[in-house]
Amino acid sequence: LAIEDISMQAQAMTLAAPTRQQFYERLLAGSDSSANAIWLAQIIASWQAGEGVLPDKLGLSDLQFDQLRQRFLSLDADTNSANSLDFSRMLEKQDLEQLLRKYAATSNEETEWLITIIVAACLGSDHLWHDLGLWSRKDLSAMLKHNFPEMAARNSKDMKWKKFLYKQLCEAEGLYLCRAPSCEVCQDYPACFGPED
Ligand code: SF4
């Protein structure tokens, strides 16, 4: 390779956008490395790398986003998302937030970030863990068990998480929109309980 080619390659490498892994490592470097910090770092790193569906500020309010930036010092205030979710079509936003809040293990700003972010990701059309930017379904299950243990325990049949959350809303309202009397005899069973990877 000519010197100019090597120099151009080196320049390109310098200019290349950080990978999700690099964002993740930077986020965690300044954090307390708690379980929630690790899951939040996954979510934020995916968002910074343009993955998942979360909108600007991860769907958080200005105040919440500023609080989050105090926990994750490498989080840039000017990061823009490639996505712009339309919350005006999300009539269930408040109900979902209330559902999660009801089952939250603790009541603090970190839990509120998670609630807002999870609800925002529910607007996506993929599996919840993927829309959130978590790195696996296992991470989502662990995060929900850690933060909303009683609610997560209700998903004893390992239903897909987004389906499960919406089913909780329907049941809370006394609505049973499913077409079958029970999951066991329902023809939509694979849609609710199939693999989520
Ligand atoms: S499997 Fe059928 S009955 Fe069970 S939650 Fe899904 S749609 Fe409803």
Which of 188, 193, 196 is the best mutation target for the ligand 1 pocket, counting ligand atoms within 8 Å of the beta carbon and taking the most?
Answer: 188
Three state DSSP letters for 13-44 = HHHCCCCHHHHHHHHHHCCCCCHHHHHHHHHH
Helix-helix angle 137-147:109-121, to 10 degrees: 140
- Residue carrying structure tokens 């009539």: 91
Residues 6+ apart with CB under 8 A from 170: 176, 177
Q: What is the pTM of this model?
A: 0.86
The minimum-distance atom of ligand 1 relative to the CA of 167 is: 5
Which of 169, 176, 178 is the best mutation target for the ligand 1 pocket, counting ligand atoms within 8 Å of the beta carbon and taking the most?
Answer: 178
The answer to whether 60 and 117 are in contact (CB under 8 A) is yes
The secondary structure of residue 183, as a DSSP letter, is G
pLDDT for the residue 82: 67
The minimum-distance atom of ligand 1 relative to the CA of 180 is: 3
Q: Which residue, judged by its Cα, is nearest atom 7 of ligand 1?
A: 178
The answer to whether 85 and 120 are in contact (CB under 8 A) is yes
122 Cα to the center of ligand 1, angstroms = 18
Confidence label for 174 from pLDDT (cuts 50, 70 and 90): low
pLDDT in tens, 75-123: 887 777 767 777 777 778 899 999 999 999 999 999 999 999 999 999 9
Residue 62 has pLDDT above 70, yes or no: yes
59 Cα to the center of ligand 1, angstroms = 29
pLDDT for the residue 4: 63
What tokens were used for 70? Answer: 């105090």
The minimum-distance atom of ligand 1 relative to the CA of 181 is: 3
Expressed in angstroms, the distance from the first to the final Cα of the chain is 43
CA angle 104, 54, 18 (to 5 degrees): 115
Q: Which residue, judged by its Cα, is nearest atom 5 of ligand 1?
A: 183
55 Cα to the center of ligand 1, angstroms = 30
pLDDT for the residue 193: 82
Count of CB atoms within 10 A of residue 66's CB?
A: 13
What mean pLDDT do residues 182-197 have? Answer: 80
pLDDT in tens, 6-58: 555 555 555 688 999 999 999 999 788 899 999 999 999 999 999 999 999 99
- Residue carrying structure tokens 């389906």: 163
Residue 154 CA: distances (Å) to CA of 163, 172, 181: 13, 13, 19
* Three-class SS state of 96: helix
Count of CB atoms within 10 A of residue 20's CB?
A: 18
pLDDT for the residue 86: 75
CB of 188 sitting under 6 A from ligand 1: yes
The answer to whether 196 and 162 are in contact (CB under 8 A) is no
Confidence label for 127 from pLDDT (cuts 50, 70 and 90): very high
